[in-house]
């Protein structure tokens, strides 16, 4: 260290505190970076790499960004998963003995960034701590809004599911974490991790006062310690942690959420085309975030669901009150994040104007809710704290045209501070006096071009062009500055006023800043009240959005059955219906009960099998959220879980084939589904050979039917499976109808009872505009295959079905070997899937024996 200059030694000492972050080291008007930080930052930010001396023979790599524009550079680094440590001067240079003292004042990380956020999305920091066995304490925190939640889950899969669902921007883990777990997070698309030593946790324990379970506290403790350690400031806006139970909500694993496109579409990953996109008729940003939370966590408590549905019904039935409510909500800003900025100390005058305008709408919102004859809505209105004292404070103090930047000044209203008013009056009248003095001097000297100006170096001055100097004989004029074509003077009278004006302006700015800090501190004490109000308004916003969508799209109020009956009459896929013309959409019904728990769906590709399955699931999700549903009538069970296996895609990141992904998702459903679950299986088994696939599909159908008895929709192209309906009493066949017209297939998109009669595969290929010669050849081959199959069937019917032992085998040794294999089998102890696999192997061996004969 001694070989470096004192300032560079200071830099290296501070940098050692944050080895995993870029250190933004404040030097004057710049944040500078040195050594490795400079090399990496110059590439990431595409800024110039330079060098400077630091006491050694070789110059030190250096780059920097201007202080006033650093935010955009920091944002870019954080978006790429890096951390940034801000190091500021914490000592007045005038009083410094040697190098000015500097300290890290804040760490900005992917999970703790609070600027430039998507206003309709939460920005979560997540944490996971392993408990005994496979149990985990999980928690998440949004620093911008102050909300935090924690739970204990019973498996690693559930823990990964919870963290994945919230799309945590950064994950905090104990320092002892197994690297294999980090790899599992990375496989799910997460890249920002930080480790915390669990032996040195320190934070405000009051934030955990609502939690009684010590195990639940472990995950949130990591987050609170990490937040306090990185932000290095009081965080009054952090709310007390709320404990939740995973089983208190409808559980939908990440794969199923993706397949159902609840929050984003599977093609582009954007919000458009998702269920959230359809339902998001919220007016406020906090309402939009609440909606997403409700979509991700539908309810399973029937009373709570019906309570929401009744509120939506009341709002839906009162159009004029609802429209007035929407207009009022238009003027409500993001109270949650405004409260966060107040706590952080980053709030500006315009933010406080937005807070005031938002609070001023609350009495009118309460009044409008009370106009609707619904006791629960009126109760909600009565419980709302309008925070009128805060609104009054801000209305009396902050000017409506306040600037964003405090140092711009002139944002405290006249009459709020007598002392400030005196300074403002001196400043305003002083400027008026300057204007009058200019006219007076022009009159005395007769110089019409004379003017009074101002600059920071010389203050106020009287400027006269050199051609008019002859008219300036008064001794009052004292030369101050000479220009190429003019001279600048000052008079005793002007000097006296200059002192008064400048002193008033300086003191005015200083006093205005002090007043603003006092106002901010007063508002900060009321943050819990503002946050409670924000939650209440966000829920009302979501409920009115449900009512708005339900009326606009002709949705109906669902009812919930007592005996697990599902009866959807003329249901529609909500998103596809919105994209299409309402009159063009073909609705379909679905009926399932105790005697009809499994539907096997056949029909050609592109006919609508997957759409039909998804619409049943989406109608169920919407109902359990408390929203009306797209149908003529809907009677539904309350599902505890929804599982889907829809679509085919290789998981290239994990090196898993389509078939392996298919099997893993099927395994997850079979392991966790209950009789109260909904399962959607779309063409299971298509990723492998025909016989393997068909065998697996049948075995899965039998297992679900016999061992789980969940409500199941199973689509397939294996038409041989339709015969299972004669053996499985609760399985029924349905199909999506299609018709031929002039040799071309027409998809009717109508679901009917019974199995499909054919697959129309070549017709679909024709619709895809494959070459005409190829289509013609495919039809020829189809006729040949069908004729061959018909001939084989005829031979068997004439000769009688041959058994393995009737085969004309010449190789008795081979025959005996097959017979011995059959004799060794213990069929009674085999699972259906194992039996099908063994049968398939024997079938192949029998085929070889026939060929040799």
* Two structure tokens written together for 497: 């006023």
Q: Is 603 annotated as a binding residue?
A: yes
464 three-class SS: strand
* Two structure tokens written together for 714: 């199973």
* Two structure tokens written together for 725: 């309906």
Which residues make beta-bridge pairs with 430?
none
| Cα distance between residue 345 and residue 415, in whole Å | 25
| Cα distance between residue 640 and residue 249, in whole Å | 7
Closest-CA residue to 582 (of 549, 621, 554, 618): 554
Q: Is 609 annotated as a binding residue?
A: yes
Which residues make beta-bridge pairs with 733?
600
| Cα distance between residue 267 and residue 273, in whole Å | 9
The helix (run of H) or strand (run of E) holding residue 437 is: helix 418-445
* Two structure tokens written together for 606: 């592109």
| Cα distance between residue 115 and residue 341, in whole Å | 10
584 three-class SS: helix
Three-state secondary structure string covering 476-526: CCEEEEECCCEEEEECHHHHHHHHHHHHHHHHHHHHHHHHHHHHHHHHHCC
Q: Is 604 annotated as a binding residue?
A: yes
List Cα–Cα distances, 263 to 101, 268, 575, 820, in angstroms.
Answer: 49, 12, 12, 57
Closest-CA residue to 325 (of 122, 545, 174): 545
Which residues make beta-bridge pairs with 588?
571
Alpha helices in 285-348 (DSSP H): 285-296, 302-316, 319-329, 335-344
List Cα–Cα distances, 347 to 342, 403, 843, in angstroms.
Answer: 5, 12, 76
334 contacts 284 by C-beta, under 8 angstroms:
yes
Q: Is 148 annotated as a binding residue?
A: no
Cβ neighbour number for residue 346 with a 10 Å cutoff: 11
Distance between start and end Cα atoms, the chain? 89
Q: Tokens 């297939």 identify what position?
A: 745
533 contacts 384 by C-beta, under 8 angstroms:
yes
The C-alpha R_g of the chain, in whole angstroms, comes to 37
Q: Is 606 annotated as a binding residue?
A: yes
Q: Is 122 annotated as a binding residue?
A: no
383 three-class SS: helix
Alpha helices in 553-652 (DSSP H): 574-579, 609-625
715 three-class SS: strand
The helix (run of H) or strand (run of E) holding residue 70 is: helix 70-79
List Cα–Cα distances, 512 to 397, 401, 429, 456, 516, in angstroms.
Answer: 10, 15, 19, 21, 6
List Cα–Cα distances, 767 to 105, 349, 779, in angstroms.
Answer: 64, 62, 14
Closest-CA residue to 678 (of 646, 648, 647, 651): 646
Checking DSSP bridges between strand 641-645 and strand 251-252, what pairing results, if any?
A: parallel
**CA atoms lying within 13 Å on the CB side of residue 508:** 21
Q: Count Cβ neighbours within 10 Å for each residue of 790-813 and write b for 16 or more, e otherwise.
A: eeeeeeeeeeeeeebeeeebeeee
195: Cα separation from own chain's centroid: 23
List Cα–Cα distances, 117 to 78, 140, 142, 233, 563, in angstroms.
Answer: 12, 17, 11, 21, 46
Which residue ranges make up the annotated binding site for ATP?
Answer: 603-610
- Which residue numbers belong to the known binding site? 603-610
């Amino acid at each position: 260290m001694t070989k470096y200059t004192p300032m560079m030694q200071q830099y290296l000492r501070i940098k050692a505190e944050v080895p995993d972050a870029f250190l933004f080291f404040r030097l004057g008007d710049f944040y500078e970076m040195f050594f490795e930080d400079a090399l990496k930052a110059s590439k990431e930010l595409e800024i110039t790499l330079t060098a400077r001396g630091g006491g050694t023979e070789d110059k030190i790599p250096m780059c920097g960004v201007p202080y006033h524009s650093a935010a955009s550079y920091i944002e870019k680094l954080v978006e790429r998963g890096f951390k940034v440590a801000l190091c500021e001067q914490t000592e007045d240079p005038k009083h410094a003995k040697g190098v000015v003292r500097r300290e890290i004042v804040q760490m900005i990380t992917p999970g703790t960034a609070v600027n430039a956020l998507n206003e309709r999305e939460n920005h979560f920091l997540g944490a996971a701590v392993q408990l005994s066995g496979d149990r985990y304490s999980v928690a998440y925190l949004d620093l911008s809004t102050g909300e935090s939640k924690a739970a204990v889950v019973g498996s690693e899969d559930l823990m990964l599911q919870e963290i994945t669902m919230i799309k945590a921007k950064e994950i905090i883990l104990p320092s002892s974490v197994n690297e294999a777990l980090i790899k599992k997070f990375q496989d799910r698309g997460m890249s920002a991790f930080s480790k915390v030593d669990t032996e040195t946790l320190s934070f405000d324990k009051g934030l955990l006062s609502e939690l009684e379970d010590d195990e639940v506290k472990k995950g949130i403790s990591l987050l609170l310690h990490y937040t306090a350690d990185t932000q290095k400031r009081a965080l009054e806006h952090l709310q007390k942690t709320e404990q939740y139970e995973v089983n208190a909500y409808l559980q939908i694993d990440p794969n199923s959420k993706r397949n159902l496109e609840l929050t984003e579409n599977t093609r582009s990953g954007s919000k458009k085309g998702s269920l959230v996109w359809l339902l998001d008729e919220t007016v406020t940003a906090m309402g939009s975030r609440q909606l997403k939370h409700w979509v991700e966590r539908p309810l399973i408590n029937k009373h709570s669901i019906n309570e929401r549905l009744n509120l939506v019904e009341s709002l839906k039935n009162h159009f004029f009150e609802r429209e007035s409510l929407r207009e009022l909500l238009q003027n409500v800003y993001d109270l949650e994040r405004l409260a966060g900025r107040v706590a952080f100390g980053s709030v500006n005058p315009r933010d406080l104007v937005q807070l005031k305008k938002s609070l001023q709408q609350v009495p009118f919102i309460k009044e409008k809710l009370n106009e609707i004859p619904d006791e629960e809505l009126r109760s909600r209105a009565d419980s709302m704290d309008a925070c009128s004292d805060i609104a009054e404070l801000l209305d009396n103090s902050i000017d409506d045209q306040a600037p964003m930047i405090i140092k711009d000044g002139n944002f405290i209203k006249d009459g709020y501070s007598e002392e400030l008013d005196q300074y403002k009056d001196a400043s305003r009248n002083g400027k008026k006096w300057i204007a009058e003095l200019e006219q007076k001097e022009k009159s005395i000297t007769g110089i019409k071009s004379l003017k009074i100006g101002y600059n920071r170096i010389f203050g106020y001055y009287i400027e006269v062009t050199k051609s008019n100097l002859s008219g300036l004989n008064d001794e009052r004029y004292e030369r101050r500055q000479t220009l190429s074509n003019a001279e600048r003077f000052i008079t005793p009278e002007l000097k006296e006023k200059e002192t008064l004006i400048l002193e008033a302006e300086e003191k005015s700015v200083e006093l205005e800043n002090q007043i603003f800090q006092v106002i901010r501190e007063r508002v900060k004490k009321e943050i819990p009240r503002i946050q409670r109000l924000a939650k209440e308004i966000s829920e009302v916003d979501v409920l009115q959005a449900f009512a708005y969508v339900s009326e606009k799209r002709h949705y109906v109020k669902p009812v919930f059955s007592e005996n697990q009956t599902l009866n959807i009459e003329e249901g529609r896929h909500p998103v596809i219906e919105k994209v299409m013309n309402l009159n063009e959409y073909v609705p379909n019904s679905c009926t399932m009960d105790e005697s009809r728990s499994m539907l096997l769906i056949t029909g050609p590709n592109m006919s609508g099998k997957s759409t039909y399955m998804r619409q049943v699931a989406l109608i169920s999700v919407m109902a359990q959220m408390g929203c009306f549903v797209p149908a003529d009538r809907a009677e539904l069970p309350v599902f505890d879980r929804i599982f889907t296996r829809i679509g085919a895609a290789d998981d290239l990141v994990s090196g898993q084939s389509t078939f392996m992904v298919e099997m893993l998702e099927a395994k997850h459903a079979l392991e966790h589904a209950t009789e109260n679950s909904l399962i959607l299986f779309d063409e299971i088994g298509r990723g492998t050979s025909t016989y393997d696939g068909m065998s697996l599909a049948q075995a899965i159908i039998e297992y679900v039917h016999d061992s789980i008895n969940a409500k199941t929709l199973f689509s397939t192209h294996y038409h041989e499976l339709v015969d299972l309906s004669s053996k499985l009493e609760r399985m029924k066949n349905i199909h999506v109808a299609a018709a031929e017209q002039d040799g071309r297939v027409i998809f009717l998109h109508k679901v009917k009872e019974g199995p499909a009669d054919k697959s129309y595969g070549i017709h679909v290929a024709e619709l895809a505009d494959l070459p005409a010669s190829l289509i013609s050849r495919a039809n020829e081959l189809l006729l040949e295959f069908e004729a061959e199959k018909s001939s084989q069937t005829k031979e068997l019917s004439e000769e009688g079905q041959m058994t393995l032992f009737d085969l004309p085998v010449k190789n008795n040794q081979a025959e005996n070997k097959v017979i011995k294999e059959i004799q060794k089998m213990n069929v009674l102890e085999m699972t259906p899937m194992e039996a099908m696999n063994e049968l398939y192997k024997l079938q192949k061996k029998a085929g070889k024996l026939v060929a040799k004969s």
